[in-house]
Amino acid sequence: MTQLVTVFGGSGFVGRYIVRRLAKEGYRVRVAVRRPNEAIFVKPYGVVGQVEPVFCNIRDDDSVRSVLGGAEAAVNCVGILNEFGKNKFDEVQVEGPGRVARLAAEAGISRMVHVSAIGADADSDSAYARTKAAGEAAVLEHQPDAVILRPSIVFGPEDGFFNRFASMARFGPVLPLVGADTKFQPVYVDNVAEAAVMGVTGAAAPGVYELGGPDVASFRDLMQDMLKVIRRRRLIVNTPFWIAGIMGASLDLAQKIGMGLIENKMLTADQVRNLRNDNVVSDGARGLADLGITPVAYGAVLDDYLWRFRPTGQYEELTESAKDMKA
């Protein structure tokens, strides 16, 4: 009988790539999400009935237990970048992973993959980073042989990084950044998915893996490369951390006063604290090379999905060719 894997958050950016790879490997995949009707796009990743989105509330024991029934492995991709409504860091990034690990152990599931993040640190002044570390500890308490993946900024067609700033660059002559000199090591989403599947199959040894691509670059350099791809000239302005902190706190206050009507998706005070630290693979950490995975450079992929932000979109290259012919 084909083995079943439950993927929590399997309709999200990273999760959908993990689900697709698992389906190609022949697994049946149960995609546990809050809104199954909005995740039906995952069904064509496999043959009829192979991939099924199902409802799950990661805050509830019975809900999590029900989607783990019959599974051979579990993958947790659930995480948030900012708090809003009932989505709090502690509940989503600490209690949630711990609940999945505990109930998976009770169900006799010994293979678990947990997607965390580079920068997870129990002593960090960022709540995001602290709860990522606490979530890892909660997983390891119940699943000591779990595979924990800590990716840097993840890029790919549906990412919320390059897409976000490319969209911002369409308006106005200035592109403001917080932490322009902070370094990142962007990792391709399908490389992360490949590592996760190796954790499911047992090809990856238990433990923590920090996942970064072949290039380390500052936030400013990444944006300059992005601007070249979308054929736009913008002045990159670094916003000092103290100003950014005031902006983040003000936007957080607006969200709090808004009583659920306003969500701060722009900049939070916690994100400002996180941006003070480089987001790169630590010296001596196990990574993609230890898994035998060749990392894909962001420069090789950005053209494939950022073309729509060019002044004339898909026709930009034709326009440039026409200019060359006139010259």
Residue 78 is assigned to a structural domain of this protein = yes
Condensed to tens digits (0 to 9), the pLDDT of residues 274-321 reads 999 999 999 999 999 999 999 999 999 999 999 999 998 765 565 655
pLDDT of residue 261: 84
For 206-240, the pLDDT digits (tens) are 999 999 999 999 999 999 999 999 999 999 999 99
Range with the lowest mean pLDDT among 89-103, 200-214, 260-274?
Answer: 260-274
Q: Where are the alpha helices (DSSP H) in 143-188?
A: 162-168
Q: Which residue has the higher pLDDT, 2 or 135?
A: 135
Could you give phi then psi for residue 18, rounded to 5 degrees? Answer: -65, -45
Instruction: State the pairing for strand pair 147-151/28-33.
Output: unpaired
Q: Enter the pTM of the model.
A: 0.94
Kindly state whether residue 171 falls inside one of the protein's structural domains.
Answer: no
Size of the chain in residues: 327
213 — phi, psi (to 5°)?
Answer: -75, -175
166 domain-assigned: no
Q: Six-digit token pair at 173?
A: 């002559």
Give pLDDT tens digits for 172-198.
999 999 999 999 999 999 999 999 999
* Structural domain count of the chain: 1
∠ at Cα 286 (211, 128), nearest 5°?
A: 50
What pLDDT does residue 325 have?
55
Q: For residue 267, which phi and psi values (nearest 5 degrees)?
A: -165, 125
H/E stretch holding 279: none
Check residue 321 and give its pLDDT: 58
261 within domain boundaries: no
Nearest by Cα to 113 from 189, 42, 226, 199: 199
Does residue 1 have a pLDDT over 60?
Answer: no
**Max intra-chain CA distance, the chain:** 71
Within-domain flag for 59? yes
User: Closest by alpha carbon to 233, among 297, 169, 181, 296?
Assistant: 169
- State the residue range of the domain holding 200: 4-155+185-214+279-293
Whether the CA torsion 133, 139, 140, 142 is positive or negative: it is positive
Give the C-alpha separation, 112 to 93, whole Å.
16
Rg of the chain over all Cα atoms, to the nearest angstrom: 20
- CATH classification at residue 105: 3.40.50.720
Mean pLDDT of the chain, nearest integer: 94
Tens digits of per-residue pLDDT, 133-166?
999 999 999 999 999 999 999 999 999 999 999 9
CA distances from 95 to 58, 75, 307 (A): 9, 15, 40
Q: Residue 83: inside a domain, yes or no?
A: yes
Dump the DSSP string for 132-151.
HHHHHHHHHHH-TT-EEEEE
Q: Would 325 be classed as within a structural domain?
A: no
In a domain? residue 259: no
